Amino acid sequence: MTTTIPKYTLEWILPFVRESCRGYEPYKEFSFVAYIQNLWTALERANTEGIKRDPSRRNTPSPSPHTDFFTNEAPEGLRNIAIEALNYILSVGLLAPTVMDTNLNGLRASHPYFITQRGADWAASKQLMPEDSAEYMKLVKQLVPALDPIIEQYISEGLSSFVGRHYFASAIMVGAASEKAVYMLGESMCGALKDPKGQKDLQDFLNGRSMKQLFDFLREKLEKTIDLGAKKCPIPYPVHEGAIAHFASLVDAIRVQRNDAVHPQNAAVTPDSVRLSYGAFPHALEKMEKLGDWFKNNPASI
């Protein structure tokens, strides 16, 4: 049974490319034929339309100058996007071209690539890739069914920027989405506070857009409440589990990604740092939503 004919896009094929690169040893050479062989094998496992094996090559020893597939019978769009994906992972440093041992100007003909350590880490990761924007947004909406439309727009535009390698713009978008999530948590917490002074201070921080004071207030309140212990903490464990770490990841996205992108003298925005922020965001947002819902349903409880 085959799947429906896919739309051949970089976002669609990159998860298959990552799967096909798993197990490559960093800095060990491999050929273009090996790239296609492993990629077509991954596509075959997914029952992708147009992937056909060549039965005559079933017992061919490896390595071979040919793949085990009728590659020329695959749709032209699929063949083209496979080449585009190879050039993409080369351009972002996940692969690198090899050179002759004694001639740095000459590329090897038979073994033209090796996977970098960054590339091996990327291939081994199971987190959704920012490049796979459709699946990424699908996960976010599964985790947070009532997704705030402003957060959705920030993240959607940030993912598009990441694919286009506009990393500063992408960093600003995930930072802005994280800031929105933190402010929403603060608004939810207001009614859950018992102390009138605490309510007033928190409202002042929200109204005054005092980000550092807001972050410090929320973190301190979460830490004190959760550290009361299982018997005394009013927030159920499934709601607060990992909350402080997830909150810290959002604050990190705001401070490191967005603020460093807005202030170019910091020059700290890198593709890897932005990728990490997007990797952490969906589950951090889910945790903030769970906390916020609990605060709204339990007034004057903390």
**Distance, CA of 152 to chain centre:** 15
Residues 284 and 159 in one domain: yes
- 93 plus 190 within the same structural domain: no
| Rounded Cα–Cα distance for residues 283 and 242 (Å) | 10
> What's the pLDDT score for residue 279?
92
Residues 119 and 199 in one domain: no
Residue 65 lies in a domain: yes
Distance CA 161, CA 261 (A): 13
Same domain for 27 and 119? yes
CA distances from 111 to 75, 172, 253, 270 (A): 26, 39, 39, 29
The answer to whether position 1 is within a domain reads no
Q: Are residues 90 and 216 in the same domain?
A: no
Single pTM value for the model: 0.80
Q: Is there a single domain that holds both residue 147 and residue 293? A: yes
Q: Report DSSP state, residue 69.
A: B
Please list, residue by residue across 18-41, b when 16 or more beta carbons sit within 10 angstroms of its beta carbon and e when fewer do.
bbbbeebeeeeebbebbbbbbbbb
Q: Are residues 40 and 63 in the same domain?
A: yes
Token pair belonging to 1: 């049974």
CA distance linking residue 163 with residue 108, whole number of Å: 29
- How far apart are alpha carbons 280 and 56 in whole angstroms? 46
Which tens digit of pLDDT belongs to each residue from 43-83?
Answer: 999 999 999 999 887 655 555 668 999 999 999 999 999 99
Which stretches of the chain drop beneath a pLDDT of 50?
1-2
Domain-located, residue 147? yes
Hey, what are 2's tokens? 């085959």
- Total structural domains within the chain: 2
Looking at residue 34, its pLDDT comes to 92
- How far CA 59 is from CA of 43, 54, 67, 68, 71, in Å, comes to 21, 11, 12, 9, 18
Do 120 and 137 lie in one domain? The reply is: no
Q: Is residue 223 part of a domain?
A: yes
What is the Cα Rg of the chain in Å? 24
* Closest by CA position to 171, among listed 181, 182, 162, 163: 162
Measured in whole angstroms, the distance separating CA 268 from the mean position of its chain's CA atoms is: 18
DSSP SS3 for 241: coil
Query: Is 76 part of any domain?
Result: yes
Domain stop point among 85, 106, 124 = 124
Q: How far is CA 282 from the centre of its chain?
A: 9
In whole angstroms, what is the distance from residue 114 CA to residue 123 CA?
13
3-state helix, strand, coil in the chain (%, to 5): 60, 5, 30
Of 68, 97, 124, the position where a domain reaches its end is 124
Q: Which of 124, 154, 176 is the last residue of a domain?
A: 124
Q: In terms of residue numbers, what domain contains 18?
A: 10-124
> Is residue 3 one of the residues assigned to a domain?
no
Provide the residue count of the chain.
Answer: 302
